[in-house]
Amino acid sequence: MENIKVSVIIPVYNCGEYIGSTLKSVINQNFSDYEIIVVDDGSTDNSLEVINSTLRECGIRYKVIHQQNGGVSVARNHGIDVSSGEYLVFVDGDDLISPNHLLELYNGVEDFSLIQFAKKDGDNIYSQGTNFGRDYISTDDFIQKELNMEIVFNFFQIMYKSSIIKENNIRFTPGVVYGEDTEFALKALIFGNNIHISNEITYFYVQRTGSAIRTTEFRRFDIVEIFENLSKFYRINGKNHLAKLIIYSRIPRAIFGNMNYFFYSCYGFDDVMYVMKKKDLFYKLSRFRGDFKFNLKVRLFLLNPKLYYKLWFKFKNSID
């Protein structure tokens, strides 16, 4: 049996217009011994036809799975289950990777490795990741930086050792539409020691015209429950310092950041306040411990939410 170093898992749902370009970027890697796993999540357009025609004569080992629509988490989990690679890499069905993506990621020694990413909006490319200025970082240090929101990070930047994912039953949570990818990464990372870092930009998150998600019914606040569950997970696995950091830093920051996002997106003040009260987010926000400047903003808001909103609206604060 041939050795497969990397499994590239690509969930697809109605990406017929883009999946061909995505697959070609995955096929054209200056790397060998990898497989492509495409999971079609019940597409109703021509995605499956494009997938099959693009891969049929690519010369790369591949698997195409067609499942009933179950969401991106179910699709990614299906890809994990059928993967054969020593490491796992995730690419979304409408994004692009450079020819050296797998080569930059594959270390073969560390449990995890990381590259940088950029947002591609038409002909414009905007660097999004964090340049660490070093070749390695401990997983504990990395997680703490993420929980304090000191770094810009997305789960697809990381190559994951397959045995860690499978032996510890790390999977994406089905039915969650916001934050399931961050949860997956932050769960997996506690089972390794170091992350090998490349500061090369090799992943391109493509911003399509009109594709910005208008998250209805305030689903962005669901990230709070995701992090609460992650805090419990950390405690069970003896990572109490990380569990506390979630409660006293990451959750309050997520609440405040998403609240400002809703203000910025012209959601009504009363509607935002109603949802926050219903979800008990005022109390969870009040538990913040840390940075003085951020703490001052939180205290001002909690003291007089309406006044904070008026000041925010007047000075058009950026989302924090």
Give 66-78 pLDDT, tens digit per residue. Answer: 999 999 999 999 9
Type of residue at 91:
V
**Across 18-27, 36-45, 121-130, least confident range:** 121-130
Higher pLDDT, 10 or 212: 10
Q: Domains along the chain?
A: 6-206 (3.90.550.10), 216-315 (no CATH)
The predicted model gives 145-173 an average pLDDT of: 96
Q: How confident is the model at residue 313 (pLDDT cuts 50, 70, 90)?
A: confident
Q: How far apart are CA 247 and CA 171, in angstroms?
A: 22
Q: How confident is the model at residue 319 (pLDDT cuts 50, 70, 90)?
A: very low
pLDDT for 27 equals 97
Higher pLDDT, 134 or 154: 154
Higher pLDDT, 200 or 130: 200
H/E stretch holding 308 reads helix 305-315
Does residue 1 have a pLDDT over 60? no
Planar angle of CA 281, 285, 289, nearest 5 degrees: 160
pLDDT for 212 equals 41
The token pair at 297 is: 């903003």
pLDDT for 124 equals 81
**Angle at which helices 19-27 and 47-55 cross, to 10°:** 20
Q: What is the pLDDT of residues 188-225, one digit of tens each?
A: 999 999 999 999 999 999 876 544 444 457 889 999 99
Give phi and psi for 197, each to the nearest 5: -115, 130
pLDDT for 314 equals 79
The predicted model gives 141-146 an average pLDDT of: 96
Does residue 317 have a pLDDT over 90? no
pLDDT for 316 equals 64
Pick the closest to residue 278 from 228, 218, 237, 226 (CA basis): 218
Q: How far apart are CA 189 and CA 182, in angstroms?
A: 11
Give phi and psi for 160, each to the nearest 5: -110, 135
Q: How confident is the model at residue 244 (pLDDT cuts 50, 70, 90)?
A: very high
pLDDT for 209 equals 56
Q: How far apart are CA 14 and CA 40, in angstroms?
A: 8
Q: Would you say the pTM of this structure is higher than 0.85?
A: yes
Distances (CA, A) of 76 to 14, 73, 118, 230, 280: 15, 5, 22, 19, 32
3-state helix, strand, coil in the chain (%, to 5): 45, 20, 35
Show Cβ contacts of residue 21 under 8 Å, excluding neighbours closer than 6 positions: 96
Report whether 88 contacts 165 (CB < 8 A): yes
pLDDT for 215 equals 45
**Across 61-65, 130-134, 187-191, 237-241, least confident range:** 130-134
Cβ neighbours, 10 Å, residue 25: 18
Report whether 76 contacts 160 (CB < 8 A): no
pLDDT for 211 equals 46
Mean pLDDT of the chain: 92
